[in-house]
Amino acid sequence: MELIVSQVFSGLVRASLYFLVTSGLTLLFGVVGTLNMAHFSLYMIASYFTWTFHYCLMEYSFAVWAAFLCSAAVMAVLGLVIEKVIMRHLYERQLGDQLLTTFAMVYILDDLTKIVWGSSPLFVSRPDILTAIVGVGPVSFPASDIFVLLLGLASGIATWYLLARTRTGRILRAAYSYKEMLPALGIPIHRTYMGIFVLSVILASIAGSAWTMMGMVDLGQAHSLLIESFCVMVIGGMGSFVGTALSAVICGLTYSFAILYVPKIATLLIFALAGIILIVRPWGLMGQAGRLH
């Protein structure tokens, strides 16, 4: 029984991480129609920024929060620059050009990261509250995992609120349904696109900060999460925010239990799920039927 509880917990933590990383990407794709392959590189850069800010502010009690906020702010600015300089020119281009350009961005951003922060992994000296172990009955949960779980929930709820209850959210949802209508309604489409890109970068930043607080930042982290995130996105439905949340939970739990019983093929199981979805229902669990954007 304890095993099941702790596996469910770690599955949900993993789901939270998947969700944090993937939600930005899926929102961007849903509204704008561009798959930003460099999203994971941005997530990695955010991790590094978080490490830097945390390192500078280590003596203060608010170090963790400050690191999160500063990193999100810096990434938002970076996102603005990238949108203006690169992404803007891609909206009208073919899929091939979009994927190629963002793929080239992966190379560039990865190398820039290596130049600025070096190739060795960087370790975070976390505050005590994050290194604690919380015991509930016979099961113990690491505090940093709880932190990631809560962060994922908070981020999901905040973004949901943004999408469902605010005017900006309505505009974004309208753009997802029928983006050609926006200019017809007098809504500046470029500002909307800029906004969604910055939002996706901020979400990536939160994900990166969460990862940093788990202990270590290194150059490979983007790649390890990348493919699983693609799978999460595909299974949930590309562009669907709720779908991403749902599929993150499915994939997180699948991985967590698979690691226990069939460890060698745990990751392959997620790939297989994505493959099956792509064949049987390419628009994903919650995507709009027949919509291949």
Partner 1 sequence: MKRQWLVPVCGAAVLAVLGVVIGEFWVKVATEAVIMVLFAASFSILYGQTGLLSFGQGAYFAVGAYGFALSMTKLDLPFPVCLIAGVVSATLWAWLTGYLCVRLAGIYFAIMTVVVAQSTFYMIFQGYGITGGDNGIQGLIPPPVLQNSRVYYYFTLIIVAGAYYAYYRIVQSPFGLSLRSIRENSVRARFVGIDVRRHTLKAFVLSGMLAGLSGALFAPFTRTVVPQMADWMASGKAVFMGILGGAAHIFGPVLGAVVWVFLDAVVSGFSVHWPLIIGLLVFFIVFFMPGGVMGLVASYAGKRHFEQEEGQPS
Which residues contribute to the site for partner 1 (CB under 8 A)? 35, 86, 89, 94-97, 99-101, 103-108, 110-112, 115, 223, 227, 230-231, 234, 238, 264-265, 267-268, 271-272, 274-275, 278-279, 282, 292-293
* 156: exposed, middle or buried (Cβ count in 10 Å: 0-12, 13-18, 19+): buried
Nearer to partner 1, 5 or 86 (CB): 86
Closest CA to 107 of 37, 180, 163, 156: 37
**Shortest CB 225 distance to partner 1, Å:** 12
**Shortest CB 285 distance to partner 1, Å:** 15
**Shortest CB 129 distance to partner 1, Å:** 36
Helices 2-32 and 221-236, packing angle to 10 deg: 80
Residues 23/172, Cβ–Cβ less than 8 Å: no
**What are the beta bridge partners of residue 122?**
217
Nearer to partner 1, 196 or 206 (CB): 196
Nearer to partner 1, 96 or 137 (CB): 96
Nearer to partner 1, 17 or 37 (CB): 37
Distance of CA 191 to the CA centre of its chain: 22
Nearer to partner 1, 18 or 141 (CB): 18
**Shortest CB 86 distance to partner 1, Å:** 8
Q: What b/e readout covers 16-35, taking b as 16+ CB neighbours within 10 angstroms?
A: bbbbbbbbbbbbbbbbbbbb
